[in-house]
Amino acid sequence: MTNKISRRKFLKVVAGSGVVGFGVMAAGCKGDPSGAQGWIPDQYQGKGDFPVNLKGRVAISQDNPSIERDDEKCILCGQCVEACKNVMGVYGNYPLPLKNEVACVGCGQCTIACPSGAITEKRNIQDVLAAIDDDSKHVVVQTAPATKVSLGEEFGMEPGASVGKKMVGALKEAGFDAVFDTCFSADLTIMEEASEFVHRLTKAKDEIPHLTSCCPGWVKYCEYFYPELMHNLSTCKSPQNMMGATIKSFYAEKKGIKPENIINVSIMPCTAKKFEVGREELQVDDQRDMDYVLTTRELAVLLKHKGIDLNNVAESEYDSVLGESTGAGKIFGATGGVTEAAVRTAYYLATGSNPPADLLSWQPVRGMKAVKEANATIPGVGTVNIAVCHGLENARQLLNGIKEHGSKWQFIEFMACPGGCIGGGGQPKSSEPDIKQKRIAAIYKEDTSSAKRCSHDNTEIQSIYKEFYGKPLSEKAEKYLHTSFVNRHDRLF
């Protein structure tokens, strides 16, 4: 016997296996088709095209400055659609086919709703870290009122823990060159907006109802869906951008720093702010008001990256010239807060004296009711009817009513997120059912414990008007503190 395979033997094996293979195939043995190796959530099982309550997901375009999504983490649970459609009134409220863009106001409620962490804010942590490490840059940070009552949650503290001063200490430890308080510029906003409102009420009645404009999610919503109401929007920039513009002008001048060497960072409860800072209207003398926005969640990541535990940080005070704030600035973070703060100062502007006690604890505009109504009697001006609305789906229904029947209110506050900024899309996620109420309670506690309750009493505000802006609505104030809006209606309709 030999082990050599003859040519004949080889051909026989090949032909034989061919015949066997053909036989197997012809007999119908084909194995499993490829695919179907994975899983799919229950609402798509079985008759997957049956109607169900929650399914699908929202569209997020690649160039969205506020939010992004990791497809690998998406479980198609439909929670984002629920938030976008039924809470924010965006999804499904524009016609198909699409026009120029994928509608998104950037509110970030989908990031809160997303249970698997697939949708997140578009992160700027690396940009901010790089700026801090760059010695040629003067990095200034400001903190929004709502972040002071929520950042603690990311470090295991009680919901609604007030950590403003600890946050300042942590930010200084992290290497920021100056820490300012957005509550200061909220006071500045109130000075401008209350003056503007009194002006509109007495001299420019066609711009009544006066609609607030400090919420970037709401402003974009108005530009998308209610362009006919754009001239009713307050022309005041948001507190964030008033601060930004003031830092790159007044503060830069005072400190002798070139504005282009300043990096303005803000800590916000908000993802829509990331869109807002990119607006072309929000730059003065070719300088962008703001450079980077970090959400409350991003700040927690940044601090942990730097090894800073908020629990063990020494408390610190905000830096001077743009750091003092009053109770009025602090309540900006809760729904109804802007209204209450504005009325306090409008009362002062009209009468020359501070408002009575009931306007300092104005219950009708507080709380989680979808649309709150109130009226304030201001001597010399008369009775002002006011509405406060939060959640854009609520706003949509309110505005549709106004379009049809006109407005019985002279002043309407809109906040995109339920509960106002304390419920913002950049806030820590929580399983606590009353989280919003607890944060709101913490905000009002900060207000009542403040020595000064009205924006016009802020001494730094008084001196900035004396030294720089002159008076509210002055030419300089118009240049730095006021803005215009863009009609975005035809991008959707």
Partner 1 sequence: MAVLVDITKCIGCEGCSVACKMYNGLDFKAKPRNIKDGHLELDDNRWTVIQEFHTANDDLRFVKKQCLHCLEPACASACFSKAIQKDEKTGAVVYYPDLCVGCRYCMVACPYSIPKYQWNEQFPQVAKCQMCESRLSKGDAPACVSACTTGALISGDRDELIKKAHEIIASDSRYVNHVYGEHEVGGSEWLYISDVPFEELGFKQVSDTPVTNYSKSYLSKVPFFAAGWALFLAGLTYYNHRVEKNKKNQDDENKDKED
Catalytic residue among 110, 215, 421, 454: 421
**Measured from the CB of residue 56, what is the shortest distance to partner 1 in angstroms?**
3
C-beta separation of 292 from 128 below 8 A: yes
- Binding-site ranges for partner 1 (CB under 8 A): 21, 25, 30-40, 44, 46-49, 55-61, 71-72, 74-76, 78, 81, 96-102
Catalytic residue, chosen from 82, 153, 154, 276, is 276
Q: Which residues contact 63 (CB under 8 A, 6 or more apart)?
A: none
Rounded to 5 degrees, what are φ and ψ at 109?
-60, -25
Which one, 46 or 356, has the nearer CB to partner 1? 46
Element holding 178 (H helix, E strand): strand 178-181
418 class by beta-carbon count within 10 Å (0-12 exposed, 13-18 middle, 19+ buried)? buried
Q: How many Å apart are CA 172 and CA 79, to the nearest integer?
A: 38
Nearer to partner 1, 49 or 280 (CB): 49
421 among known catalytic residues: yes
State yes or no: is 214 an active-site residue.
yes
Find, among 129, 135, 138, 142, the residue nearest to 174 by Cα.
129
Q: Please pick, among 214, 215, 389, 417, the residue that the annotation labels catalytic.
A: 214
Query: With respect to partner 1, which residue has the nearer C-beta, 40 or 130?
Result: 40
**77 vs 146, which CB is nearer to partner 1?**
77
| The one catalytic residue among 281, 315, 432, 467 | 281
- Active-site residue among 82, 154, 192, 193? 193
Q: What's the min distance (Å) between Cβ of 175 and partner 1?
A: 34
For residue 239 the two structure tokens come to 């507190």
Tell the smallest beta-carbon distance from residue 73 to partner 1 (Å).
9
Q: How far is the CB of 35 from partner 1 (least distance, A)?
A: 4
Q: CA distances (Å), 432 to each of 153, 193, 334, 385, 429, in order?
A: 11, 35, 18, 35, 9
Element spanning 119, H or E: strand 119-121
**Residues counted in the chain:** 493
Minimum distance between the CB of residue 144 and partner 1, rounded to whole angstroms?
Answer: 31
Alpha helices in 331-434 (DSSP H): 337-351, 357-360, 392-405
29 is an active site residue: no
Is 281 among the residues known to form the active site? Answer: yes
Q: Which of 273, 274, 436, 438 is catalytic?
A: 273
Structure tokens at 434: 């009353």
**Do the Cβ atoms of 145 and 329 come closer than 8 Å?**
yes
Structure tokens at 46: 């079985």
Clarify whether 158 is annotated catalytic. no
Taking the least distance from each CB to partner 1, the nearer of 97 and 256 is 97
Q: Which is nearer to partner 1, 35 or 356 (CB)?
A: 35
Give catalytic status of residue 215 as yes or no.
no
**Residue 122 C-beta: closest distance to partner 1, Å:** 17
Catalytic machinery residues: 193, 196, 214, 234, 273, 276, 281, 421
